[in-house]
Amino acid sequence: MEPLIRINNLVIHFSTFDGIVKALDGINLDIYEGEALGLVGETGCGKSVTSLSIMKILAPNALLKNGEIIYRGKNILKFSEDEMIGIRGGEFSMIFQHPLRALNPTMKIKNQIFESLLLHEKNLLLRNAIEKIDEKNSKRPSALLNIYRKLIDDELKNPDSYKLKILSRIPIIKKYKEYLKDDEIIINMLKKTDIANPSTVIEQYPHELSGGMRQRVMIAMALLGEPKLVIADEPTTAVDVTIQAKVLNLIKDIMAKFNTSLLLITHNLGIVAEICDRVAVMYAGAIVEVCDIYTLFENPVHPYTIGLINAVPVIGGKKILKTIKGLVPDLLEPPTGCRFHTRCASATDICKKDKPELMEIDEGHLLACHIFKENV
Amino acid sequence: MRKIHIYAIKGFLLSILVIFGLSILVFSLSRSAGDPVAGYVDPYTPLYQIEQIRIKYHLDKPLHIQYFYWLQAVLRGDFGLSRIYMYRPVWYTIQKFVPITIELAIYTVLIMVPLSLWLATKSVKHKDKLIDNITRLIAIAGRSMPSFFFGIVLLMILYPLKLTSIAPIFTFKAITNMPTFDALLNRDWAGFIEAVKYLLGPLIIQVFINLALTMRIMRASMLEELYQDYVTMGLAKGLSRDYLLIKYVRRNAMIPFITLIGIQFAYLVNGSVISETIFNRKGLGFLAARAAMQLDHPTILGLALVLGSTMVLTNLAVDILYVYIDPRLEAV
Amino acid sequence: MSWKEELKPRIKGLKFALWKVRKQPLGLIGLGLVIFYSLIAIFAPFIVAPNYPDPLIIPKHVTRTPLPPSKEHPFGTTGPPFFVDIYYGVVWGTRTSFMISISVMLVTFVLGLILGVTAGYFGGKIETVIMRITDIFFALPGLILTLVIISIIGKGIGPVIIALGARWWASYARLFRAEVLRIKQKLYIEAARAIGLSDFKIIMNHIVPNTISSGLIMATLDFGSVVMVAASMGFLGLGLNPGTAEWGILLAGSRDWIVAGKWWISLYPGIAISTFVLGWNLLGDSLRDLLDPKTRKLVE
In tens, the pLDDT along C257-287 reads 777 777 778 888 888 888 898 888 888 877 7
Q: Are C183 and C207 in contact (CB under 8 A)?
A: yes
What local confidence, expressed as pLDDT, does residue A263 receive? 93
Is B237's CB within 8 Å of A93's CB?
Answer: yes
Q: What are phi and psi of A187, to 5 degrees?
A: -65, -40
Q: Could you tell me if residue C222 is inside a domain?
A: yes
Of B145, B152, B311, the CB nearest to C266: B152
Asked if C274 reaches chain B (Cβ–Cβ under 8 Å), the answer is: yes
Of A90, A102, A119, the CB nearest to B230: A102
> Does the structure show a pLDDT above 90 at B258?
no
The domain tally of chain C equals 1
Host H or E run for residue A21: strand A19-31
Q: Could you tell me if residue B135 is inside a domain?
A: yes
Q: Residue C204 has what DSSP assignment?
A: I
**Which residues, at least 6 apart from A147, have a Cβ–Cβ distance to it below 8 Å?**
A173, A176
Q: How far apart are CA A375 and CA B308, in angstroms?
A: 81
Q: For the sheet with A74-75, list strands across it.
A: A19-31, A5-16, A62-71, A74-75
What local confidence, expressed as pLDDT, does residue A184 receive? 84
Q: What are phi and psi of C92, to 5 degrees?
A: -70, -20
Tens-of-pLDDT digits for all 376 residues of chain A? 788 999 999 999 998 877 888 999 889 999 999 899 999 988 888 888 999 999 998 888 888 988 999 998 899 989 888 888 888 888 899 988 888 888 998 888 988 998 888 888 888 887 887 777 777 666 667 777 777 777 777 777 777 677 777 777 777 777 777 777 878 888 888 887 878 888 888 888 888 888 888 888 888 888 888 888 999 988 877 777 777 777 788 888 878 888 889 999 988 888 888 888 999 999 988 999 999 999 888 888 888 888 888 887 777 777 777 788 778 888 888 888 888 888 888 888 888 888 888 888 888 888 888 887 665 5
What local confidence, expressed as pLDDT, does residue C295 receive? 38
Residue C263: closest C-alpha in chain B: B156
- Best residue of B97, B273, B306, B310 to probe chain C, by most C CBs closer than 10 Å: B273
The reported pTM is 0.79
Q: How far apart are CA B236 and CA A84, in angstroms?
A: 10
A10 strand-pairing partners: A27
Q: Are A248 and A274 in contact (CB under 8 A)?
A: yes
Q: Kindly report the nearest CA distance between residue C151 and chain B, in angstroms.
A: 5
Q: Kindly report the nearest CA distance between residue B239 and chain C, in angstroms.
A: 30
Q: How far apart are CA A27 and CA A286, in angstroms?
A: 6
Can you list the alpha helix ranges (DSSP code H) found in chain C? 3-22, 25-42, 44-47, 86-122, 124-139, 142-153, 157-184, 187-195, 199-202, 208-235, 247-252, 254-258, 264-290
Domain ranges of chain A: 1-103+230-376, 109-183
Of A87, A102, A207, the CB nearest to B229: A102
Q: Which fold has domain A1-103+230-376?
A: Rossmann fold (3.40.50)
Give SS3 for B167: coil
Asked if B130 reaches chain A (Cβ–Cβ under 8 Å), the answer is: no
Q: Residue B4 has what DSSP assignment?
A: H
> Does the structure show a pLDDT above 60 at C6?
no
CATH number at residue B282: 1.10.3720
Amino acid at position A354, single letter: D
The domain tally of chain B equals 1
Q: Are C99 and C230 in contact (CB under 8 A)?
A: no
pLDDT digits (tens, 9 = 90+) for B299-323: 888 888 998 898 899 888 888 888 7
Q: What is the ipTM score, two decimals? A: 0.82
> Does the structure show a pLDDT above 90 at C11?
no
Amino acid at position B214, single letter: T
Q: Find the radius of gyration of the CA atoms of chain C.
A: 23
* Of residues C110 and C74, more confidently modeled: C110
Structural domain span for residue B247: 90-294
CATH number at residue C162: 1.10.3720.10
What local confidence, expressed as pLDDT, does residue C291 receive? 65
* Of residues C85 and A75, more confidently modeled: A75
Asked if B46 reaches chain A (Cβ–Cβ under 8 Å), the answer is: no
Q: Which chains touch B (3 or more CB pairs under 8 A)?
A: A, C
pLDDT digits (tens, 9 = 90+) for B5-19: 888 898 899 999 999
pLDDT digits (tens, 9 = 90+) for C238-249: 888 887 888 888
Q: Which residues of A touch B238 (CB under 8 A)?
A: 85-90, 116, 119-120, 225
Q: Could you tell me if residue C41 is inside a domain?
A: yes
Is C255's CB within 8 Å of B152's CB?
Answer: yes
Q: Could you tell me if residue B2 is inside a domain?
A: no
Amino acid at position A56, single letter: K
Of B232, B239, B327, the CB nearest to A105: B327
| DSSP string across B126-163 | TTTSHHHHHHHHHHHHHHHS-HHHHHHHHHHHHTTTT-
pLDDT confidence bin for C48, thresholds 50/70/90: confident
- Best residue of C24, C90, C134, C144 to probe chain B, by most B CBs closer than 10 Å: C144
Percent of chain B with pLDDT over 90: 11
Is B328's CB within 8 Å of A86's CB?
Answer: no
Is B248's CB within 8 Å of A55's CB?
Answer: no
Asked if B240 reaches chain C (Cβ–Cβ under 8 Å), the answer is: no
Structural domain span for residue C189: 12-60+85-296
pLDDT digits (tens, 9 = 90+) for C214-227: 788 888 888 888 99
* Of residues A74 and C81, more confidently modeled: A74
- Best residue of B14, B94, B152 to probe chain C, by most C CBs closer than 10 Å: B152
Q: Kindly report the nearest CA distance between residue B303 and chain C, in angstroms.
A: 8
Of C135, C144, C277, the CB nearest to B144: C277
* Of residues A266 and C199, more confidently modeled: A266
* Average pLDDT over every residue of B175-181: 82
Going by their DSSP bridges, the two strands A62-71 and A74-75 should be labelled as antiparallel
Q: Which residues of B touch C141 (CB under 8 A)?
A: 267, 270, 307, 311
Is B236's CB within 8 Å of A88's CB?
Answer: yes
Q: Kindly report the nearest CA distance between residue C128 and chain B, in angstroms.
A: 11
Q: For residue C264, how many other CB atoms are within 10 A of its CB?
A: 20
Of C135, C151, C231, the CB nearest to B292: C151
Give SS3 for B37: helix
Q: Kindly report the nearest CA distance between residue B25 and chain C, in angstroms.
A: 9
> Does the structure show a pLDDT above 60 at C188?
yes
Number of residue pairs across A and B with CB atoms under 8 Å?
A: 71
pLDDT digits (tens, 9 = 90+) for B204-245: 999 998 888 888 888 888 888 888 889 999 999 988 888 899
pLDDT confidence bin for B327, thresholds 50/70/90: low
Q: Are B152 and C255 in contact (CB under 8 A)?
A: yes
Asked if B292 reaches chain C (Cβ–Cβ under 8 Å), the answer is: yes
Is C255's CB within 8 Å of B155's CB?
Answer: yes
Asked if C107 reaches chain B (Cβ–Cβ under 8 Å), the answer is: no
Of B228, B326, B330, the CB nearest to A101: B228
Q: Are B230 and B244 in contact (CB under 8 A)?
A: no
Q: Are C41 and C98 in contact (CB under 8 A)?
A: yes
pLDDT digits (tens, 9 = 90+) for B30-64: 888 777 787 788 888 888 888 888 888 888 888 88
For CA atoms B140, B142, B148, B154, give the dihedral sign. positive
Average pLDDT, chain C: 78
Going by their DSSP bridges, the two strands A261-266 and A36-40 should be labelled as parallel
A98 strand-pairing partners: none
Q: Could you tell me if residue B15 is inside a domain?
A: no
Is C139's CB within 8 Å of B311's CB?
Answer: yes
Q: Which residues of B touch A207 (CB under 8 A)?
A: 327-328, 330-331
Of B144, B149, B301, the CB nearest to C281: B144
Going by their DSSP bridges, the two strands A278-283 and A286-292 should be labelled as antiparallel
CA B85 vs CA B17, B33, B292, C67, C143: distances in Å: 32, 19, 13, 36, 21
Q: Which chains touch A (3 or more CB pairs under 8 A)?
A: B
Q: Are B82 and B89 in contact (CB under 8 A)?
A: yes
Q: Could you tell me if residue C76 is inside a domain?
A: no
